[in-house]
Every structure is written in structure tokens, then in C-alpha cells.
Amino acid sequence: MPAFTRTPAVVLSIALAAAAAATPAAAAPASLWDHPGYDAEDSYYNPAESVINAGSIAKLGKKWSVNLRKSDASCSGPSAPVLAGGRLFATDHLGISSYAAADGKLGWRFDWADIMDNEVPRLAVSDGLLIAANGDCNSQSDPDGQLTAIDVVTGKQRWQLPLDMPIYSAVVDKGVVVVTGWSQSDEEAVVAYRARDGRQLWRKVNHSTTGVSANGVLLIHKTDGYGEPAGDTAAVDIGTGATRWTRKGGWTAQAASPRADRFYVTSQDRSLVAIDAATGKAVWTAAGKESALVAADGTRVYRTEGRGVEALDARTGKRAWITQLGVEATQPVRAGGLLYAGGAVLNASDGTVAGPVFGGRVVVTGGLLYQVLGNLLVTYGVR
């Protein structure tokens, strides 16, 4: 999840030394990864993981796997799963399936009404509902979007809302769903809906946002109505749309810190900038470090580009370390003192190799590693 905050959004940091302990904890923490980037901050950092760490990563073995449903006629497909309440929710070519996180037992399936005209959805869990944000894929000039709310226990649709614009990004936080999009026939807008019933709460035309919320605060920037930045950036309340502060220039939020006190944004001059979430003041600027693939754990900010993985000091923006992988780097994921970025697993503290290669889309929570490779979902645990 381009992406979806958690409620509450403030997450406590776990010391790296404890996360890297050689002896796994006796009991796995609860399985939770209820947004594409772990939380609404899109931090891609799970501070609760303690079982899979530097001392156990080499001992992982396959626990269970499932073949995700496939159809050559579909424009939907697999994405990284989300987890909540002991359930794992995975997309496939036909719709969405629910599995028991521990053993992969099928719970329910939700099928698209038209598999030939539904894109891959962005998923997030909010108050017992799985929110799916996607759209059609056959119209080039006037594509539409839709929001679907599915009961996480039964798989039954609770509500569905057709939208007159495509969805380019979505975020769920504080019981609110916010989407943005535009097309040649639809003026760009940021629109907020109540998660429990789909009622529209507010709308801002000629604005854009991303799938990042810092404890209920969004960054939105003015556009020309068709994707091009054309003005200032504002921080707004996710529930009301009320402006907290405004700064000059167009910033695109890529992640927020686990404590929700910083936004990590890319600027129009291709820099990565740390922004104080409360005031909009730039804390530091890393020139030329623009990246859409960012993770943050409160100590370091991780970015990938090409085959490189780089860690920046979260206080200063200075390079902490850089490592070259043997493959194209992917979205970095931080859990248990480790960093997953598509190649060999790295130690988050110094970028050295800590374990074997885990490619594809990876989620690490509850003492298990979930990996989506093509149409195969594989789950690993410590042997």
C-alpha cells in the first residue's frame, strides 16, 4: 500500500539490541499489520516483532502456503497482505480471500462482480471492516473508482460506494477513508468518507495527497486539477479537512515517523525532506535523495533506489550506511532489528547481511514472515 494509519497511531520504539536477541521470545506477539505500510503512517516498521531477529532469521522454515487464485482475464492480482484479529487478507485475480494467519485455513472469499474490470485494491482494516479501495481498468478517458467495506469475520459486503474518479492513493485513519485521483474527465480531488458507512465528510478539489497519515494529519498539496503541482502544501485534519498549517511548495508525503511527529516528503527539487508534523518546519533536507520507497523506525529513515539500500539518521538526515544488493531493491520493511528490501536480509543498524534472500512482497508480524511471490503466498516461522 502506495499506501493506508493505525488507531492509535503512536507506536512505541523497541530497542534494536533487544530485537536482535539470539534467543526468540517464548510467545509470539499478536499478528497485526492492518495497513499496507503496517500503520497509517506508512512507516513499514513493526516495533512489536521479537521472534524473527538476527539470531533466528537463518532458522526460518516454511509453515504453510497457498496458491492465490489466478485468471488471465483479470486486471486485479496479488499484493502484500494485511493482518488483523488473527486473520490474513490477501488479494488475488478474482477478489480478496481471508485466511487464518497461523495455519492458512481459508475463512472466506469476496469476489469482484466483474473480474475483467477491477484493479488491485488497496486494503486496510478499520473497526471490524476491511476497506478495499480500487477502480475499473478498461476506460482510459473516464475511469471510475470504488470503495468497498467487507466484514472481516464473515466476508459479507457492508457497503460499497462508486466514485466518479479513479483512486490513485488511499489512507485509512481515525475511522476515516481518504482517497485522491484524477483523469482526463475528472478534476483532481481529495475526498474523505466515514469508514463505517461510506458517508462523505469533506472534499477538496484541485488537491492531491498520498497514503500517509501522521496520527490523523494529512499533507495535501494544490495541483492544476490534473496531476501537476501548482501551489502550496497544507496539513489538514483527516476527520474535518480543517487546515493546521500551510507551507510554500509542493511536498509529497512518502512516510511518517512511528511517533507521528515527522513527515518524510519528497520535494520538487528531488530531495527527501523531514518535516515537523506539528508546524510544517523543515527539520533536515537530504538533497538528491528522493525516493517513493521509504521506511522509518524513529532512529533511521531507509530508502531504496536501484539496487541500493540507504539508511539516513532520523535526527540529521546524514547517511548512516549504504548497501548494494544483488537484485533490484524493493519497498524496505523494518521488523525485529532487520531490514527486508528484496535481497539478502540486512541488519537495520549497520546494513550488513543478516540472513538469506526474501524477495517479493514481505510482511513480518506475530513471529511469522508472509511472502507473496507471483501468485504464491508462503508463510515462514522459526523452526
Minimal CA–CA distance to 220: which of 191, 186, 185, 177? 191
Band of the pLDDT at 14, cuts 50, 70, 90? very low
Compute the distance between CA of residue 104 and CA of residue 114 in angstroms, rounded to an integer: 26
pLDDT at 79 over 70: yes
**Whose grid coordinates read 532458522?**
59
- Which residues, 6+ apart, have CB-to-CB distance to 31 below 8 Å? 83, 84, 86, 88, 101, 102, 365, 366, 368
Band of the pLDDT at 28, cuts 50, 70, 90? low
pLDDT at 356 over 90: yes
pLDDT at 6 over 90: no
Per-residue pLDDT tens digits for 311-331:
999 999 999 999 999 999 999
Per-residue pLDDT tens digits for 30-61:
689 999 999 999 999 999 999 999 999 999 99
- Whole-number average pLDDT of the chain: 91
* Residue 58, SS3 per DSSP: helix
Q: How many residues appear in the chain?
A: 383
Looking at residue 20, its pLDDT comes to 37
**Whose grid coordinates read 492465490?**
68
Model confidence, pTM: 0.91
Burial label, 23 (beta-carbon count in 10 A; 0-12, 13-18, 19+): exposed
Per-residue pLDDT tens digits for 164-200:
999 999 999 999 999 999 998 889 999 999 999 999 9
Provide Rg for the chain, Cα atoms: 20
The CATH classification number of 16-382 equals: 2.130.10.10
Burial label, 25 (beta-carbon count in 10 A; 0-12, 13-18, 19+): middle
* Cα distances (Å, whole numbers) of residue 372 to 66, 361, 362, 368: 10, 5, 7, 13
- Residues facing 194 on adjacent strands: 176
Per-residue pLDDT tens digits for 277-305:
999 999 999 999 999 999 999 999 999 99
DSSP secondary structure of 262-319: EEEEE-TTS-EEEEETTT--EEEEETT---S-EEE-SSEEEEEETTEEEEEETTT--E
